[in-house]
Structures are given as C-alpha cells and as structure tokens.
Structure 1
Amino acid sequence: MLFKLAVDCIILAYDPLDNHLKVLLIQRENEPAKGHWALPGGFVDQSEDFAATAARKLRQETGVTVSYLEQVRAYALTDPTAGQRLASVSYYALLDLAHYAPATDRSHLAQWVPLVHLPTLPFDHGLKVQDAWQRLQEAARNQPVPFHLLPPKFPLNQLQRFYEALYQVPLDNRNFRKWVKGLPYIEPLEEVETNVSHRPSRLYHFKAAVYATFRQAAQLTPY
C-alpha cells in the first residue's frame, strides 16, 4: 500500500472593515478537486521538516511568507482511495491582513475568505479550518491573540468586534469596556481616530512588556 504524508496551512486574519475572521484559500489547479477552493499545502519531501514544507507550499501557492507556523494536529487518514493511505499535519498562523496580501501573480488563485462564509472544501480541509478556529478561540482566553491581528492602535469598539467575530456571540458593550479597562496591558493613548464619519473614538494600544509581567505574576499567584 502506498503511504504519503502531507501538510496543510490554515492562515487566519481579521478584517476590521467587514468585521470578519478570514482564512487564506487557493483555487486548486490540478486534480483531484481541480477548480475547488482549498487550503494551501502539499506533500512532504523525504528530507524536509513538516513546518518547512508548510511554509514552502504556502509561499509557492499564495506568495505569502510567514516566519512561524504552529502545528494544530495530525490526521490519520484523509484519503480513502483504494490502495492509498494519506496522513496529514495541519499548521496555522495569524497574520495582519493589511500586510499580507497574496502575490500579484497568484491573486486570481489565492483569496481571503470569511470563516462564516466558508465554501464546501474538498478532502478534510473544512474540518481542519474548524479545528484551527477552535484552537484560536481557546488561545484567546489567556493569550493576547487580538494584538497579532489588529492595527497597533485601535478603538475599543474594534477590539470588541474582534471578540464577537471570534466567538460568534454579541457582547455587552458596558461590561466589555469595564473588563478591558481593568487590564493593565491595554493602555489608552492621547489620540483619537481620524478620517471617520462618526464621532472619533479614543485609541488604545497593547503593551507587550506589561503583559509579560502580568502573565508572570498570574502564574506565581497561589490558588
């Protein structure tokens, strides 16, 4: 029986313009599932590290380069074709949408697609996207996930919309603001939004050094 090993990349970003979490998909150029939207990825070379294969295939198929990919999980059997067994490993990364567009020569084949409007994906790619989304939801409970995806300066309503998009639930505005203002690592600036049609909101930013101290203190606090 022929045995192959593949990797797939789930690249996630947040679009503040339409308030959607998005995943980067490619339009497959070859069979099987030619013409279908799918995750970037491919087979692992015999001498290549899994993460290196993921980064290489992502770069080749989308023109997007990432410095770090985190493994989500391994999938034991993804191709039931008679005489062929295929295992795969999925990786995910968080990118700032404003700085990571598909390369010009690949833009007709690679697109950002909202998670809530995800098309039916071939193979087990739909499951892999859902697993990565769940991993992101879990990580955001105790890690500064939004600040990898938001602009360096942001109003609180944008931060709230991010969490609502991530968990797909509405949040009470007053309680959310009270919670955020109690976090020492989210600092208000003496700046407001510009070029907006509504009353400008105050801007905030994330202080990584304060967060690191905050996390260390939390880990040392006895329960």
Structure 2
Amino acid sequence: MLFKLAVDCIILAYDPGDNQLKVLLVQRENEPAKGQWALPGGFVDEPEDFAVTAARKLRQETGVTVPYLEQVRAYALTDPTVGQRLASVSYYALLEWAHYAPAADRTHLAQWFALPHVPALPFDHARKVQDAWQRVQEAARNRPVPFYLLPPKFPLNQLQRFYEALYQAPLDNRNFRKWVKGLPYVEALAELETNVSHRPSQLYQFKASAYAAFGQATRLTPY
C-alpha cells in the first residue's frame, strides 16, 4: 500500500490587544484548495525527524521560527483513493505575541485568526485545530501554559482574560484574584502598568524556580 505522509503546524498565540487566543494560518498558493486558509505544513520529503520537517515547513511558509514543537497526534489514512492515501502528524507550539516576526514577503500569506472564529479549513485541518486547542486546555491543568504566552510582566486582569479565552468561559473576578494570590509561583512586583489610558494595575511575574519547587500540589487552572 502506497501513501504519503504530511506534517501540519498549529501555532497558537495570545493577543493581549483583543484578548483572544489565535492560530496562525497560511493562504495556499497551489492546488488542491488553492487560495484557502490552511495550517502551515507539507509532505515529509527528507530523511529527518517529523518535528524537524514541521519546523522547516513552518519557516518556509511563514518565516516564523518556534523554540519547540510538541506532537498533538497522528491521523490515519484519510483518502481511500489509490495513490492519494494520506497520513499526517500534527504539532503545536506556543508563541508569545510580541515575538511574532513573519518574513516580510510572507505577511500577506500568513495571518492570525481567533480560535472561535477560524474560517472554513480544507482537508482535516479544522479537526487538528480543535485537537490542539483541547491539548492546550488539558496541558494548562498541570503546566504553567499562560506564562509561555503572556509577556514577562502582566497585570492580573490580563491573566484572567487569558484563561477566559482559553476555556471560553467567564471567571468571577474576586475568586480568581484570591486563587492567583495563593499561588507561590506568581510574584507581585512593585511596578505598575505604563502607557495605559486607565488606572495602572500592579504587575506580576512568573517565578520558574518557585514553580519547580511547588510541583503538582494543587490545580494550576481556576476551572
């Protein structure tokens, strides 16, 4: 049985400007699905690790380099037609919004879309986006996911909005702040926001050393 193998990248970032978790899509330049928005990726065409192929395809299609890619899952053959059988492996990465730097000649072909409002995607890409989103939701329950996506210093309301965007559910402001202030790895700073039109809020930061000592003693999300 002959089949092709493809890799797809789900790159996620949190946009603090409109408080949305977003996915990076590219506009396909060739058939099939020419002109449609899709996940960056392509066929495995080199004798290398699949994650290396995925990272290389991502750089070629968007100009974006990520520090790591984590596998979401593998997908079985999706087309029964002989010669068109396709298996694929999807990977996701978390990218801090401020670090997004696409290649100048690719900006018109790569765009961010809010996860709740992703356009219709070809192939099985919609399923892969949902699978990656669910994986990040699960990961956030035992890993400090928001601190990969937020700026190094952040106000508590930004952290709350991140969780609301991730789980698509509101949080009680008072209970959320009480929960966060009980976490030993979130440190209050003697600093306030700058260049804001509203009353500046106190800033906080993530303490990796405290988190390492903290372990898995309690839940890492407010849900």
- What is the TM-score normalised by the length of structure 2? 0.95
**d(CA) in 2 for partners of 1:82, 1:36:** 25
Aligned to 1:183: 183
Superposed counterparts of 1:1-223, under 5 Å: 1-215=1-215
Conserved? CA contact 2:46–2:53, under 8 Å: no
List per-residue Cα deviations over 1:101-123 (Å, max 9, x = no partner): 32111000011111111001000
**Residues paired across the two proteins, number:** 218
Report how far residue 197 of structure 1 moved: 1.1
Residues 79 and 123 in structure 1, CA contact (< 8 A), matched pair in contact too = no
Percent of pairs with identical residues? 84
Three-state SS of the structure 2 residue aligned to 1:90 is strand
Quote the offset at 1:216 in angstroms: 6.6
- Shift of the 139–157 alpha-carbon distance from structure 1 to 2, 3 Å rule, reads same
**Deviation of the 1:67 alpha carbon:** 2.3
Contact 2:13 2:95 survives alignment (8 Å): yes
| Structure 2 CA distance for aligned equivalents of residues 199 and 173 of structure 1 | 17
What CA RMSD, in Å, does the superposition of the two structures yield over aligned residues? 1.3
| 3-state SS, counterpart of residue 51 of structure 1 | helix
- Using a 3 Å threshold, how does the CA distance of structure 1 residues 76 and 120 change in structure 2: closer, same or farther? same
**Cα distance in 1 for residues equivalent to 2:81 and 2:63:** 31
CA distance in 1, matches of 2:6, 2:70: 15
Mind listing any 5+ residue stretches in structure 2 that lack a counterpart? Answer: 219-223
Cα contact 1:38–1:121 (8 A) shared by 2: yes
Pair 1:78–1:102, CA change in 2 (3 A): farther
Change (3 A) 1:217 1:166: closer
Residue 46 of structure 1: how far off its partner (Å): 4.5
Give the AA of the match of 2:129. V
Partner of residue 221, structure 2:
none
Residue type of the alignment partner of 2:49: D
Residues in 2 aligned to 1:86 and 1:216: alpha-carbon distance in whole angstroms: 40
SS in 1 for 2:153: coil
Unaligned runs of 5+ in 1: 219-223
3-state DSSP of counterpart to 2:21: strand
Which residue in 2 is equivalent to 1:221?
Answer: none
What's the secondary structure of 1:2's corresponding residue? coil
